[in-house]
Amino acid sequence: MRIEKDTLGKVKLPDNVYYGAQTQRAVGNFPISGLRLPRQFIKAQGTVKLAAARANGSLGLLSKKILRAIEKASIEVINGTHDRHFVVDVYQAGAGTSQNMNANEVIANRAIEMLGGQKGDYKLVHPNDHVNMAQSTNDTIPSSIYISSFEAVRDDLIPALKTLRGALISKSGEFDKIVKAGRTHMQDAVPIRLGQEFSGYAESVNNDLLRLQNASKSLLNLPIGGNALGTGINAHPGFKNSIIKEIREITGINFKSCKNLFEGIQNIYPALELSAALRGIAVTLTKIANDIRLLSSGPRTGFAEIKLPAVQPGSSIMPGKVNPVMAEMLNMVCFQVMGNDTAVSYAAQASQLELNVMMPVIAHNLLFSIEILSNGINAFTKKCVTGIEADAAKCNDYAEATLAMATALNPLVGYTAAAEVSKQAYETGKTVRQIAVEDGILNREDASRILDPNKLTGK
């Protein structure tokens, strides 16, 4: 064990940990969930600390010896070397002060080691005076949220959505000649091709992808350099531009400073905008997953228009039962994302005066949504969509049987007479085509031409 001091007094903590007194207090104060902010966020914290050290070094505010030590320690944090030392619960002190100090202390103590000192010897490298120089929790935490979220969306979610879109486009082509009955209000509607139905899914995903990319652009505006409130107190006049430049060089992403640092620290609207885009994706995917479950329902007492890959047994009591488990999984992921968005929305609106203090829970929910959406979409695409098969005969039977085929008679006999044909077909169990011929509305040749389900689906 070792003893460290902070402004409240002495704190005892294990000698083999890199975090210090303030982190240890947070561990004791917030034994809430066991949840920690994820790897992407810790990486972003390391990025901010590395950029700050380089900025302060270039401005002559850090000695080369301390700068090099902080640089090396920050790079280790970026690479995940010290993740186990980031131990503060998600539900912690407001704004993320404990999380910021966790990073400051880990980097400081590791830098001290590199300089030949003992952990806790903050005369060599101080968590606040050196690692946190010209920074505040209030600008580093939102900046870390935006950096980590942008990278997670770019590296994980966008590729997952593109893969799903490609798989749906492929199925749209594969199923293009298969005609089936459309359905509105869960009732018979005019014919549609299965490929057309899937093209709608593909375009929905594409539109969500575009909305996601647009929402991600707001994450490029960082409040870093604003320090506590946006005034940049205790920071060199050149610090703001210098740290933004360093962050761009470290990440390869074109981050820039907020137009108004006061607004950037008062609010966390880029996170809110991104969360809304994630909710939109969840809504789209819920619709697709539910449709897949309906279209594959059966196999003998449901729609059974498509067949899903059998990936695992579906019942502990009914032998041979196979369920649409990948679609069900995706539904659950989407419901969780919608719940996460609600939490983000409430936390975002909790901004008061100069600061939003609910940032840790925003970071957790935002990054959690990105993670489970990315993983859920990848699994759904690989284990379900790519292996979907169509029952062309079943689809064609439904196309012939749909009572909405009478719609094609509207131009010939009018809506009322066409409705009577549909009614007779329903009552007799015959097709609209059969009734149209029997009632003398069309001869067989014209009936085959006018009531051809394929022609009724357009191009």
| Pairwise CA distance, residues 81 & 443, whole Å | 79
DSSP summary character for residue 177: T
Catalytic site residue 315? yes
Please, what's the b/e burial string for 147-170 (b: 16 or more CB within 10 A of its CB; e: otherwise)? bbbbbbbeebbbebbebbbebbbe
Residue 228 near residue 263 (C-beta atoms within 8 A): no
Helix (H, G, I), strand (E, B) or coil at 46: helix
| Pairwise CA distance, residues 242 & 240, whole Å | 5
CA distances from 379 to 40, 229, 325 (A): 21, 43, 11
Tell me which residue of 70, 94, 96 sits closest to 148, measured CA to CA.
Answer: 96
| Pairwise CA distance, residues 459 & 447, whole Å | 20
Helix (H, G, I), strand (E, B) or coil at 135: coil
* 185, 199, 297, 351: the active-site residue: 185
Cα 307-310-311 angle, rounded to 5 deg: 140
Q: What is the dihedral of CA 137, 140, 141, 142, to 10 degrees?
A: 120
Residue 125 near residue 111 (C-beta atoms within 8 A): yes
| Pairwise CA distance, residues 72 & 106, whole Å | 12
Cα 47-258-223 angle, rounded to 5 deg: 45
* 242, 315, 316, 374: the active-site residue: 315
Catalytic site residue 236? no
- What is the sign, positive or negative, of the torsion defined by CA atoms of 100, 256, 349, 362? negative
> What DSSP string runs through 279-341?
HHHHHHHHHHHHHHHHHT--SSSS--SEE----S---SSSTT----HHHHHHHHHHHHHHHHH
| Pairwise CA distance, residues 207 & 162, whole Å | 11
Residue 247 identity (one-letter amino acid): I
| Pairwise CA distance, residues 295 & 278, whole Å | 26
Catalytic amino acids?
185, 315
